[in-house]
Amino acid sequence: MIIQRLELYTHKVPEQKSFYTGSLGMPLIEEAEDSFTVLAGHTRLTFKQANESYVYHFAFNIEENKLGSAVRFVRERTQPLSDGQEVIFRFEAWNAHACYFYDAAGNIVEFIARHNLASQAEGPFSIEDVTGVSELGMPVADVPTAVRYCREELDLEPWRGNGADFQPVGDEHGLFIVASLDRSWFPTQTQAEAAPFTITIAGSLDRRSVIPGYPYEIILSSSAE
């Protein structure tokens, strides 16, 4: 599941632009009066102006040997999120390490090193070690129903999870984190909310779909970007 494009909404477009292009150093590739797009590995990440505040959770895959220096990179620019003790989190079932931080709009952003996607890049972490957006939170009231829709309509299979209130679908290259609306996004106490997004993922067919009852638009694209 390769995420080619991700469009999110924010009431802080200038602040987000400064954070992603200035603090993180992602290349600015498109800009309009009310939006901007940066390049994050193979993903084009867009923030569009909204009249209200939304909070998202999303993750960037990084080179799998770079998590330690990625934390140092984050510390130089903002404060890593902690559970009270740790800022590097080990996910045994996922064979991954991750760190988290807030962006300028309060979204929970994650750098995740997936050791099943083995890669060994030399030198300290830089923004070029981001390989793409690999996770997007999809909060819903009924997780099994949403997972079934993803399987039947989008051909995306469950991956890990418990199938009840937390169930990723997709694979380690790209995942929808289908989670119950009454959960908080780890490692924070921020409540998951249904915030609008448009996402384009690589597929064998061209198709546009909206998760029933939610502002989640998913585009399957057969064209390479």
Q: What is the CB-side half-sphere exposure of residue 79 using CA atoms within 13 A? A: 5
The Cα 60–Cα 78 span in angstroms is: 17
Which residues have a Cβ under 8 Å from the Cβ of 183 and sit 6 or more positions away? 139, 165, 166, 191, 192
The Cα 42–Cα 3 span in angstroms is: 8
Q: What is the pLDDT along the chain (225 residues), one digit of tens a residue?
A: 999 999 999 999 999 999 999 999 999 999 999 999 999 999 999 999 999 999 999 999 999 999 999 999 999 999 999 988 899 999 999 999 999 999 999 999 999 999 999 888 889 999 999 999 999 999 999 999 999 999 999 999 999 888 899 999 999 999 999 999 999 999 999 999 999 999 999 987 899 999 999 999 999 998 866
Domains of the chain: 3-221 (3.10.180.10)
Q: What is the pTM of this model?
A: 0.96
Name the CA radius of gyration of the chain, rounded: 16
- Asked if omega into 187 is within 30° of 0 (cis), the reply is yes
Query: In one letter, which amino acid is 49?
Result: Q
